[in-house]
Amino acid sequence: MGNPEGSYNVGIVGAGIAGLAAAIALGRLDYKVTVYEKSKFSNETGAAILMAPQASRILRAWGLKLPDGAVGLGMSADAGGTLVEWLRAWNPRSVNGVPSAMDSFADSATRYGAPYVSYHRADLHAELRRLATAAGAEIILGVEVVDLDCQGGRITIHATETSQVETVEKDLIVVANGVKSAFASIIAGRHLPLIEGSHCMYRTLIPIERIRNDGDASKLFPDGRTNGQTLAIDNRTAAIAYPCRNGQIMNVAVQGSRAVEVFGDDWQTPASIDEVIGMLEGFDESWLALLRLSDDIKIYRHAIREPVTSYVNGKALMIGDAAHPMTPGELDPVCLCVSNVDVYSDAALAAGGATSLEDAAALEILLAGIPGQQGDDSLVERMRLWELLRLPRDNTIQILSNSQFTPRPASALSPDIRPFLKTQLPDQVLLGLVRNTREFLSYYDVFTAAKRALRWWEEKRTMGSSLKTLPIYALEEDKVVVHFGPY
C-alpha cells in the first residue's frame, strides 16, 4: 500500500491489553489505526493484574496517572490503580505468630522510577480503551478477523451479526488476539501447539470491608494493612491475595491441579466455592474463611507454548500473548529467600502484562519518523529492528515464567535461552517479586532501549549493513541494549 505522506494504515487484531496498547502507541504517531475485536464489548476479565515498574512507567508516559507514592506525588490514580508495597508469606497451616517471610518493595518508585500497581482488569482495559480512542484509533466490535495474508498485508474480517465478509488491506497488521491466536502459527511459519495440562487457577474478587468484618479472614492481615501481597504455599497448591480498585477490592487466587474435564476455554468458566476450598486441605481456617466471602469464582487452565524465532512476517507482526504466552502472574511455587529463609513466593514474573506494554511502546519509538517516499521496505526494515529489540527479552521472560512448575536457577535454563540471549544468567531462581527478580527485570526502560536501537541502526545503515543478516542478539552483542539488570 504505502502512504506518500508516511502516515501508515494499521490494522490491529484484538482489543485486549496488548491490542489497545498498540493502538495507543501507533495512534500517537498519527497513523490511521483500526482495531478489530470479535466480542461486542471487550472488557478484560480475570480479576486483577499487577503492573511492575517497567510497565507503570509506560502507562504514565501515555497519560495514565499512577497512585500516590509514585513519582509525581499528589496525583489521583486512574483506573483504580492501587499501590502494592510488600509481600507477606504465612505458614499455610497457621497464621498465628510471625509470618514465614516478609519483603518490602515500597522503594520501587524511587529505585526503578515507578511503583508496582495493581488494577482490576476491567478498569485498566476501560482506561486503555479511552486512551486509544483519544489517540485517534477506531475500535470496531463484533468483527472477527478470520484470515491473514502476511505478505499482501491483507486481513479478512467477518461481522458476527450480519455475516458480512470483507477483505481489507493494511500497511501494517498487529496480531494481538491472545494465547490462542490462530495467526501466531502463520507469522511464525510453523505449527505452534499449545501445551495445556492440569495446572489451573481460581480467581475471585472480595470487598476488603467484608474481609475486615470477618473474624477469621481478617487474621490474614493482623496489622490491618492490605496494601501488599499475602500468600501461603503447601506442596503444589498456593493461595494469594492482593488489593485492586483503589484498595477497595481484594483479588484472591488459588493455584493447583485439577482434572482436565473441569476446565473451560477462558476466564469465565465458573467454579464452586467448595471446589476451591477442597484444594486447600490443611490450610489455616483463615484462608477458607476468606474464600467463603466470595460471591463468584472462576477457573482458568494454564496454557503455554514454546518460544518462537520470529515475531515478524511480511507486513504482519505479533505482540503480547499471541507472540509469547506466559503463565498468568499470580502464583507459582518458587523459592523465595528472605533473610536466608526459604519460602514460596508468587507472581511468575508479574511480566505478562508488562511485556505486552513494552512491545507496544517499542513500536511507538521504532516506527516513528519513517519517510513515506521510502515505501514499504523502510517500514518492514523498522519492524525487523523492533523484533531484534523485543524477541530476546520477551522469550527469556517467557521461558523463566513458564518454568514455574519446576523452579530452578535461571542459569539452568541457559540452553533454552542461549539462541537469542548471550548474557550470563544468575544462579538464582528468578520468579516472584523478591529483590533478585525486581533487580533483574525492573530497571529496563523500553523507550530508552528503543531509542538506542534506532540510533545504532541508523549508523549501521549508512555503512551498508542489512538487518536481515544480523543475529537476533545483535543489539546485545554490540552493547547497545542491556535487556536485564541495571544499565
pLDDT, tens digit, 9 for 90 and up, residues 412-431: 999 999 999 999 999 988 87
User: What is the per-residue burial (b if ≥16 Cβ within 10 Å, else e) of 148-172?
Assistant: bbbeebbbebbeeeeeeeeeeebbb
Q: Are strands 316-318 and 312-313 parallel, antiparallel or unpaired?
A: antiparallel
* pLDDT of the residue at 336: 32
For range 307-317, the mean pLDDT: 97
Q: Encode pLDDT of 376-398 as tens digits.
A: 689 999 999 999 999 999 999 99
Q: Which three cell numbers stand for residue 253?
A: 487466587
264 pLDDT more than 60: no
Segments making up each domain of the chain, as ranges: 195-304
Pairwise CA distance, residues 211 & 438, whole Å: 30
Give the position of cell 541494549: 481
CA angle at 101 for the pair 210 and 274, rounded to the nearest 5°: 40
Order the strands of the 82-83 sheet from edge to edge: 48-51, 117-120, 82-83
Cα dist from 236 to 92, 175, 256, 283, 332, whole Å: 12, 34, 6, 13, 9
CATH number for region 195-304: 3.30.9.60
Q: Coil, strand or helix: which one is 349?
A: coil
For range 92-120, the mean pLDDT: 92
DSSP E strand boundaries for 286-389? 297-304, 312-313, 316-318, 331-338, 341-346
Q: Encode pLDDT of 443-484 as tens digits.
A: 999 999 999 999 999 999 888 778 989 999 999 999 999 999
Share above pLDDT 90 across residues of the chain, in percent, rounded to a whole number: 72
Contact 467, 384 (CB under 8 A): yes
Contact 73, 372 (CB under 8 A): no
351 pLDDT more than 80: no
Contact 18, 24 (CB under 8 A): no
For range 56-79, the mean pLDDT: 77
For range 300-304, the mean pLDDT: 81
Structure confidence at residue 257 as a pLDDT band (50, 70, 90): confident
Q: Which range among 64-73, 408-417, 426-435 has the greatest average pLDDT?
A: 408-417
- Choose between 136 and 304: higher pLDDT: 136
Q: Which three cell numbers stand for residue 384?
A: 525487523
Contact 200, 258 (CB under 8 A): yes
- Choose between 72 and 306: higher pLDDT: 306
Q: What's the per-residue H, E or C state across 143-173?
A: EEEEEEECCCCEEEEEECCCCCEEEEECCEE
Q: Coil, strand or helix: which one is 414?
A: helix
Share above pLDDT 70 across residues of the chain, in percent, rounded to a whole number: 87
* pLDDT of the residue at 339: 27
User: What is the per-residue burial (b if ≥16 Cβ within 10 Å, else e) of 66-93?
Assistant: bbebbbeeebebbbbbbbbbbbbbbbbe
* pLDDT of the residue at 6: 57
260 pLDDT more than 60: no
Axis-axis angle for helices 446-462, 376-402 (nearest 10): 140
Q: How many Cα atoms are found within 13 Å in the side-chain-facing hemisphere of 409?
A: 7
C-alpha 351: how far from chain center: 5
Per the confidence metrics, is the pTM higher than 0.85? yes
- Choose between 336 and 3: higher pLDDT: 3
75 pLDDT more than 50: no
Contact 15, 37 (CB under 8 A): yes
Q: CB neighbours (10 Å) of residue 144?
A: 15
Report the candidate in 426, 418, 416, 422 with the shortest Cα–Cα distance to residue 477: 422
Within 8 A by CB and 6+ apart from 326, the residues are 304, 348, 349, 351, 352, 355, 397, 398, 401, 402
* pLDDT of the residue at 341: 28
